[in-house]
Amino acid sequence: MAGDNIKLPSIDDVRFAAERIRNYIHRTPVLTSISINKIVGSDVYFKCENFQKVGAFKFRGATNAVFSLLDEEIRKGVATHSSGNHAQAIALTAKMRGTKAFIVMPSNSTKVKVEAVKGYGAEVIFCGPTLQARESTLDEVVSKTGATFIHPYNNFNVISGQGTTALELLEDVKNLDYVITPVGGGGLLSGSLTTISAISPSTRVIAAEPEGADDAYRSIIENRIVPSVNPKTVCDGLFTSLGELTFEIIKKNIYKIITVSDDSVIKAMRLIWERMKIIVEPSSAITLGILLENKIDLKTKRIGIILSGGNVDLENLPWMRK
Amino acid sequence: MAGDNIKLPSIDDVRFAAERIRNYIHRTPVLTSISINKIVGSDVYFKCENFQKVGAFKFRGATNAVFSLLDEEIRKGVATHSSGNHAQAIALTAKMRGTKAFIVMPSNSTKVKVEAVKGYGAEVIFCGPTLQARESTLDEVVSKTGATFIHPYNNFNVISGQGTTALELLEDVKNLDYVITPVGGGGLLSGSLTTISAISPSTRVIAAEPEGADDAYRSIIENRIVPSVNPKTVCDGLFTSLGELTFEIIKKNIYKIITVSDDSVIKAMRLIWERMKIIVEPSSAITLGILLENKIDLKTKRIGIILSGGNVDLENLPWMRK
């Protein structure tokens, strides 16, 4: 488990990923909002991965991982367990590569999510709603099919792929004082750190984590991976624990992890919807939540924010839940 | 009332408006969606006025009208009656011009809308919920204050300003077979017709109108302005009747007005939210509704769609009303 023995992605891996996935992904826009700038007192640049294919940055890492496999590896397909954006990302990119995807999903996944994955032609295998059930079912699928497992975040090529988001952001916006990303399993955060620490070392990277799922925050304090147990937050994309790879990268490079209340997440989400007229999910809006809470003074700074995705249940918006 | 005596805006007026308002408005992006293109079988280019200031194209016409007034005219302020996007547009642009705005609003306007108008520093004068009450209250305000009345659509400079939306669209996308806009009072439609008939005469302009508020459709058939009586539609921006100016322009240049059911409007709105991750109001989504209904065959065509605005009540989305 010693970090020194783990091979971590470098900026060259991120650049290589950018070339590999260029023709498959969207180059997403960076948007600004005069009224949000006024409210928070800084210049905020929103990198809109909610406009990415499948509606989330996850498509970058999945595509880099799937397209990095050799022809003989890819023939038996790819597999993963996920009830969220990574499932759709693997399903779509496998289809693009012309291979099969096996997606292990908890039996209590919403119909919409299952249909979306099936819509991309993937085979869905249901399992019980525990992490243990997911992993054992995945093991069975892999040993039966010979498919290659692509972990949602603790995977070298996935992290390199996620790092391309910050690469584009830094190309489009110069002299950022800070970049804020959400942190769940740490794929986006560690990819962003890989890119930013190499290209713009004076830019400080802050991660936003829900108060009710603050395992990454505690992991940094305790200098070990603290598992996420019974996370309680509206940010349904940020339930997961850090992985060995993501923890190493974050530990080395992070400026701060800041926790945010669900109230602030919802307020930030609504602000983005109302002022920017774009749809983001709670796990994205948490980044702006930091600027609303003022736990750290970022006034008058130039701040890049990665809006990680826009997949929400339009029947059940968080400000409607009582 | 004879149309021949009315001075109508020309493409030169639109170009002049574009110069006049350039530094005040946003140049909005044109977005595309691979998945919506697949669903409708055409290439659709969405001109996103939901990203315009105050969240709607209305800001263009209001700004052109307010900034076209002479210094001695503007001193006493501007006035209008509106419960919707035009009210906010006049309020903001009056503030930018450094003058006062008097906005007559029905006493049953939602608090959010009243607060938004007041937030831009305008004075709100309440009236009864009828058109008659609006007009008589406005007359009082104008005679008391000397403010200049700026009609929401039946105004030369407002129409010229709205025409700048299509001007930008034609600059960004060439060889459009069709452009679709919504029609309410006809400001956006007649501005678009002024631009498109001059610059790209082979591009056909189609207007989308709610089945439950089809006064423009009937006005063209009957060759007179049929008033909108008891409109019943989810498209709350499209209740109004055509004006003398807008009717003349539409009559001369329109290819077709097509009515759309509220069901299709809601379906289209949801499709845009889900696939494009942008927020549009029902009065905008009605344009895509035409492509979903297939009353007219537009398959394989290049179609520009003007998404007119994005101001919706996030507490009460149309697919949640039962």
ipTM field: 0.93
pTM attached to this predicted model? 0.95
Question: Which pLDDT belongs to residue B149?
Answer: 97
pLDDT of residue A9: 98
pLDDT for position A15 = 98
Whether A121 and A226 map to the same domain: the answer is no
- Please check whether residues B122 and B216 belong to one and the same domain: no
Q: How confident is the model at residue A66 (pLDDT cuts 50, 70, 90)?
A: very high
B108 in the same domain as B35: no
Residues A173 and A36 in one domain: yes
- Note whether B278 contacts A274, CB cutoff 8 Å: no
Q: What is the model's pLDDT at position B170?
A: 98
Indicate if A93 and A176 belong to the same structural domain: no
Tell whether A216 and A133 lie within a shared domain: no
Domain edge (last residue) among A116, A131, A149: A149
Residue-wise pLDDT for A126-185, tens only, equals 999 888 899 999 999 999 999 999 999 999 999 999 999 999 999 999 999 999 999 999
| B169 plus B313 within the same structural domain | yes
Q: Which amino acid makes up residue A231?
A: P
Of A8, A322, A311, A268, nearest to A157 by C-alpha is A8
The whole-number pLDDT of residue A250 equals: 98
Here the CATH number for the domain that contains residue B35 is 3.40.50.1100
Q: What is residue A113's predicted lDDT score, i.e. its pLDDT?
A: 84
Mean pLDDT of B1-8: 69
Res A203: pLDDT: 98
What pLDDT score does B194 carry?
A: 98
Q: Residue B5 pLDDT more than 70? A: yes
In chain B, the number of structural domains is: 2
pLDDT at position B112: 80
pLDDT of residue A247: 98
What contacts B256, CB < 8 A, 6 or more positions away?
Answer: B204, B206, B207, B296
Q: Which of B58, B190, B228, B283 is labelled catalytic?
A: B58
Asked if the model's pLDDT at residue B2 lies above 80, the reply is: no
Residues A33 and A160 in one domain: yes
Structural domain boundaries, residue A213: 3-56+155-320
Three-state SS across B253-292? HCCEEEEECHHHHHHHHHHHHHHHCECCCHHHHHHHHHHH
**Residue contacts between A and B (CB atoms, under 8 Å):** 38
Residue range A267-274: mean pLDDT, rounded: 97
**Mean pLDDT for the stretch of residues B263-272:** 98
Mean pLDDT of B189-211: 98
Q: Which of B131, B149, B167 is the last residue of a domain?
A: B149
Active site residue B58: yes
Query: How far is the first Cα of chain B from the last one, in angstroms, to the nearest whole number?
Result: 44
End residue of a domain, out of A98, A118, A149: A149
Residue of chain B whose alpha carbon sits nearest to that of A271? B314
Q: Tell me what pLDDT residue A126 has.
A: 96
Same domain, A145 and A167: no
Q: By C-alpha distance, which of B108, B102, B137 is closest to B123?
A: B102
Question: Which residues are B203's β-sheet partners?
Answer: none
As given in the structure block, the two tokens for residue A11 are 């900026």
Which residue is closest to A274 within chain B, CA to CA? B311
Are A128 and A110 found together in one domain?
yes
Active site residue A83: yes
Residue A231 and residue A135 in one domain: no
- Contact indicator for B212, B228 with CB cutoff of 8 Å: no
pLDDT tens profile B26-82? 999 999 999 999 999 999 999 999 999 999 999 999 999 999 999 999 999 999 998
User: Best mutation site among A115, A277, A281 for testing chain B: the one with the most B CBs within 10 Å?
Assistant: A277
Per-residue pLDDT tens digits for B125-183: 999 988 889 999 999 999 999 999 999 999 999 999 999 999 999 999 999 999 999 99
B217, pLDDT greater than 50: yes
B277/A55 CB distance under 8 A: yes
In this prediction, residue A322 carries a pLDDT of 54
Same domain? For B92 and B143 the reply is yes
